[in-house]
Amino acid sequence: MKPLMETIDLVKHFPVGKTFFTEARSFVRAVDGVSLALGEGKSSALVGESGCGKTTLGRLILRFLEPTSGNILFDGIDISKLNGQELKDLRKRMQMIFQDPTASLNPRKTVSQAIGQPLQIHRSINKSELREHVFQLLDAVGLTPPELFAERLPHELSGGQRQRVVIARAVALHPKFVVADEPVSALDVSVRAQILNLMKELGDRMGLTYLLITHDLAVARSMCMKVFVMYLGEIVETAGTEDVFNNPLHPYTKALISASPIPDPETTRVKKRMVLQGDVPSPINVPSGCRFRTRCSRASARCVEKPVLKEISTGHYVACFLHY
């Protein structure tokens, strides 16, 4: 089955020290040769430590950033080459839920204006129809009665309510693909489950394909069918969600899972943590070969070579010499 979204050797390097008169002295290798495929109607998670390139990859996929090289295919079309009206038309089918709902909403626009803006930009719609659509969206995300919220400003809402507005805006045009960048990390624990349940409900009802960017593995496990593990700009492991959690292969994946506060159901005790040694290397001067070798307790002389993603079992890929 053809994937809805696919990247092929996608690269994004940010120049460092570049001025009008001089060339860049070095580059931040934020995304470095990432290839992944996302099936239609299936939610996938992109996990990893802060600074590993997750958000940059999400913004590249949506063409919020221009790739240095590589290809981005959406529904079989190479969107990395689109510009102008073609790219504007594509925006209706691809949307983003941002991490901070306060920063992603204009403080001077009402809830009705924020949700209605994409409808005004991409559709010919009169005021009465616009109001009806906005009220339907507010009802869909649980902001009821809609009349109570439509004319409020963002500062008059709670954090959870603001994120519901952001979600309503993202699904207003009935997109096929949504990147959700840490959608609950800025919210209180008490409302996180409500927002995640809302996203799952809308995904099932509208047939959305989510790419969930998160460092919270419990969120990834509850929301997604597939997991991509990213480290220093590269995908180091990918498999079905339960396969990743029950049989992690890469040492980095094992460390991430051990750091997540998931109790062992057999002992009702939290499993022993695997603490990573050292700091994350600079993305400007990445280690040669396996990028994780400087922090890996099982690194060997062979790790100075670069491992590639290899299928170890059906649908389970890992870039580690320990397994091939």
The residue ranges of every structural domain in the chain are 5-93+173-317
Q: Which residues pair with 177 in a beta bridge?
A: 94, 209
- The secondary element (H helix, E strand) that includes residue 220 is helix 217-223
Q: What is the phi/psi pair of residue 247, to 5°?
A: -145, 60
**47-104 tens-digit pLDDT:** 999 889 999 999 999 999 999 999 999 998 999 988 888 998 898 999 999 989 999 9
**CA of 14: how far to CAs of 58, 83, 145, in Å?**
16, 21, 46
Can you spell out the DSSP letters for 277-291? PSPPPPSSSPPSSST
Name which of 251, 248, 253 is nearest 295 in CA terms. 251
**248-300 tens-digit pLDDT:** 999 999 999 988 765 555 544 445 667 777 778 889 999 999 999 999 988 99
The two tokens of residue 162 are: 């603001």
Q: Judge contact between 210 and 130, C-beta under 8 A.
A: no
Angle (deg, nearest 10), helices 189-206 and 159-171: 10
Topology of the domain comprising 5-93+173-317: Rossmann fold (3.40.50)
Instruction: Tell me the pTM.
Output: 0.91
